[in-house]
Amino acid sequence: MASWIVPVMVASAFLGQFSMYAHKGLEVASRTKTMLMIGLSTAILNVLLNLTFVGRYGYQASAVITLFSYLCYIVVVYRFSRHYLSLYIPWHSVLDILCAGMGATLCLILIRATVWAESAVSLLLAGLIFGMLYILILALLGELDREKRVLFSYVHSALSR
């Protein structure tokens, strides 16, 4: 079974959203034509790789190619974007979020291996368990405290204007 594709696609979605952050410098500098060219180049790369490998290796190849394409976009767009806007990436938060996601996923895998039924109720229950475990792990790592401090500082600065 190719269940490993789900984490690859989740990672692809994560990189896709992160790419929106990575190209902000080009947006600020009104370099949308550069963004378009990078996006088109990445899309062409994606299509060519899919045409080359999907026929031979199936949909699994497409999942890996999607991840690779998003990674290529981020690397290239950030190299152009960083000249206009320097990004601050709180790597400790990224690591905490990854740990929480992996920890909650591992717990779900263990639960599924022991007691699980294939039904809509089980799917709903799995989503609830995942969400609660994810939030619990973030709280244990102190990530929610940092987020509260950032939120309160924004609210305080907005109210003091």
What is the mean predicted confidence (pLDDT) over 5-23?
87
> Is the residue at 105 inside a domain?
yes
Please check whether residues 77 and 102 belong to one and the same domain: no
Check residue 53 and give its pLDDT.
96
pLDDT of residue 152: 75
- Cα angle 133, 138, 140 (rounded to 5 degrees) comes to 95
64: in domain: yes
Report the percent of the chain where pLDDT is more than 70.
96
* Of 30, 63, 81, the domain-final residue: 81
Quote the mean pLDDT of the chain: 86
Asked if residue 21 belongs to a domain, the reply is: yes
pLDDT at 64 over 70: yes
pLDDT at 54: 94
Query: Residue 83: phi, psi to the nearest 5?
Result: -70, -20
Q: What domain range is 40 assigned to?
A: 5-81
In a domain, 104, yes or no: yes
Residue 86 lies in a domain: no
Q: Is the pLDDT of residue 136 over 70?
A: yes
Nearest-angstrom CA–CA distance, 154 and 127: 31
Q: What is the pLDDT of residue 115?
A: 67
In this structure, what DSSP letter does residue 86 have? P
Number of domains the chain is built from: 2
pLDDT given at position 112: 73
Q: What is the pLDDT of residue 109?
A: 79
Query: 33 and 53 share a domain?
Result: yes
Q: Tell me: the pLDDT tens digits for 144-155?
A: 887 777 777 777
Does residue 32 contact residue 81 with C-beta atoms inside 8 Å?
no
pLDDT at 121 over 80: no
Calculate mean pLDDT across residues 92-108: 86
Report DSSP state, residue 115. Answer: S
Domain membership flag for residue 65: yes
Q: At what angle do helices 120-140 and 143-159 cross, to 10 degrees?
A: 80
Residue-level pLDDT at 1: 56
CA distances from 140 to 94, 100, 101, 111, 137 (A): 15, 9, 13, 21, 5
17 and 62 housed in the same domain:
yes
Please check whether residues 68 and 105 belong to one and the same domain.
Answer: no
